[in-house]
Structure 1
Amino acid sequence: SKYCSIHSGMHHSIRYILGIAAFLGTFPVCNITKRNTQALAFRWISLVTMYSLTLLAGFLTIEFIAIDYSIQHLNQANLTVAGGFKKATSGTIFYGNACLSVWLFLQLARVWPDLAKKWQLVELSMKRFGQPKLMLRLVAITSVFMTLAFAEHVLHNILNVKSATELLSLEMNITNTVTFLGYMKIFSLKSHWFLFDTYESYATWKGVAIVWLSLSGTFIWTFTDLFIMLISSVLAAQFRILNSALRQVRGKMLTQFQWREFREMYASLTHLVKLVDQHVNKIIVISIANNVYFICAQLITEIDAIKQNYTGSLFYLYSFLFLVARTTAVVIQAAAIHDESRKLAPELFLCPAECYCIEVQRFL
């Protein structure tokens, strides 16, 4: 039924995930948690869009300062120092990725209501072949990925603050018993060194802004990878449904009308993939490029940190492996769409000669 299709499709399966992203300023679509795609809308004058634009303004402010820092410090002297390359460029790359991601998701949000409706039409037309069970798979992907990302982020901050507390306590009025305000100060000076000329230039309001923008940027980075995996997983699942339907009629005598149904369904899915790719391809490029940069930077600059202590060694190993794993997962999940679409041809080759017709020819 139509009700069943609406409540087992792409939008229904990921609407709460997208709702969290909208709340945090990453995916500003109004009514994103509504069940009916007809309720979806993008408005420039809305709380979620205004919050996204506020985030973008904050990211751009830090990005301009980070670029200036990179220009001044990206030289031979700094590049030959252990960790010099990452120190000179990581701020620029991190906030550059945040700026581009927010802007690209804003552009995607503008067309998402229309795209979600077209996607649902394809799902409705596929109901006679069956419905993919998406909810459990997508919830599992989200839970595992976000848990691992959260653990990596928390460990990174704990180790950073721990390593900086002793040093900064000697130079500033910070005790080893770190309060929340003390944590903000240490975190800001340790992770955003390019924003401060001296320790004295720090102010509490700057710390609040830095923690807010840093957490938002980290979420956007994580959500970008997650979004690609979820969308790819749904598209691949829909191709699997079509493949399964073709396997069930393998070797059977089908009419020209039945072959036309299969061909038109495949054409609809292919068109949907191209439409999604048209709006998401830049996001995929940014995601892969950002992950590859941090993999290389981590590999090059953090090797010396392994010598420090056992805890640090375990963290950097986990952080590096997680970066590699998340990048691999994004690529493999996106490639699964192409892999599933290629499984159709072998089924068509098994079409009995007696029912071979113009529709099978056009299919091939």
Structure 2
Amino acid sequence: MSLFLDNAATSFPKPDSVYRAMDAAMREVGVAPGRGGYRQSLAAARIVFAARSALACFFGVSDSSRLIFTHSATESLNIAVNGLLKPGDHVISSTVEHNALLRPLHLARSRGVELTFVQADRDGLVSERDVARAMRPNTRLVALAHCSNVTGTVQPIGEIARSARQGGALLLVDAAQSAGYFPLDMEEDGIDLLAAPGHKGLYGPPGTGILALAEGLRLEPLQVGGTGGNASSPDQPEELPERFESGTTNTPALAGLKAGLDFLLETGMEAVRAKGKLLVEQLLEGLRATPGVTVYGPAQGERGAAVSFNLEGHDPATLGYLLDSGYDIAVRAGLHCAPDVHRTIGTYPGGAVRVSPGFFNREEDISYFLKALHELKSGKGRDF
């Protein structure tokens, strides 16, 4: 099996409990929740309810009905941006956003929404003072990623939340890289809208995501349809979460997501982050000791588990290909769906090679990767 070092894209492997929970939901339940009063449908509804309740508690959402299930963080961000903003509204974002947020914002601009992108520094850090200076009377939303998928830079969300609140704006946080790795509490952190995937730091399967809303927020849904309730009305219900969950729920995936969260809670997020820090520090030390390597992101302080670098004289895409074909190492090369990040750190248009270890990686894996990199640098790489 390949050495998987692309956990910033999706965590792999999943805990065994995730596979078991999904298999049981398919084989033993296998029907839609909320679409019937018979026992199997009620069992499916209990799976969904348990997952929603557990995730709401995990993210500090006091009313679990305000935690909406989606197919991805991307869908969650689209619902947040398109469901909230109206022509004439002003949004503050930054120059280090993933396309999952950047593209919905650009689409909103084509519909009359005003955008300001605060310039991040060379390490990808956004200053809360710059956010405060960008506020206008019509600023409706501040929208930022908590942690970069390229540099691992962690934004000061608490300070930015205070600036947003003082300016009368809402805060939307893209937690794709931080959910399950860094503590997040919507109420304590002052977050109004939280988007997160289920398949990364929460150890759930692909095709799962959440959007959590602060109390009192009303958004327009992206899609409407059957919700399993109030079927006589042609109008989409106002009640949450049904307003945003039309169609048949992917119950097996939510069973897997609940199992992934249970694994995280049983293991302890501090233990997961400690393992990540150990591997990242080993990786950074090895990369920085390699002549010709440039590492991007903060040199000190807290950072996520994504490390991007370039090797002088080597195209990132070719280097990624050689690591895969010659050493069976899976990394991510290119722009990482975040071209503005690469413009900010000076790696556009070629991008960089990203290495992102996960909880199931070992120190030996990092050593093997560094050995492979040294062989490729010296021209003694393996044939393929």
What TM-score range do you get, normalising by the shorter chain? under 0.3
The structure with the largest strand share of the pair is 2
> Structure 2 length normalisation: TM-score?
0.23
Tell which has more relative contact order, 1 or 2 (C-alpha 8 A, sep 6+): 2
The answer to which structure has the higher helix fraction is: 1
**TM-score, normalised with respect to structure 1:** 0.24
Larger radius of gyration: 1
